[in-house]
Structure 1
Amino acid sequence: MINSKSQTADIRWVVSSYSNDHGGDCVEVALAGTPGIAVRDTKDRTGGTARVSAQAWTAFLGAATTGGFAPADAS
């Protein structure tokens, strides 16, 4: 987890295409050197930032786009 503004000052963030002016659960991502991808909450840009490897990010996107995550148990 990255919390320092100095660690993210030079990163070019890209807002999710699903973000809008109505709130919601949106993220921003950026290429961030090693380990590869930085992710943060669009609604809390000063909060923590997570970094994951490019391989982990690719696996996450693959699972997210193919329904690889089971829905939360509603019971």
Structure 2
Amino acid sequence: MSMTFEDQSIQFLENHIDGSFQHIMSVQVISRLEWWDFIDSKYRPIAVMYEEDQDYESNLICLFPPFVPEEL
């Protein structure tokens, strides 16, 4: 059974949050997540972070690798 675009993107984010950015995600929280569109059906998620004990966003961002969905 093939996954939907949404399922693929969620799995992609979860894999990188738990793997590539494990240390950052253990000490900071995602304030907002943006998806930048690129040419050739590529997308780039960017997470703006903040620390739980602060009331404002930090200047730290997580630039995820390009997400290329499988053909649906």
TM-score bucket (shorter structure): 0.3 to 0.5
Larger helix proportion, structure 1 or 2?
A: 2
If asked which structure has higher relative contact order (CA below 8 Å, sep 6+), I would say 2
Give the structure-2-normalised TM-score. Answer: 0.32
Give the structure-1-normalised TM-score. Answer: 0.31
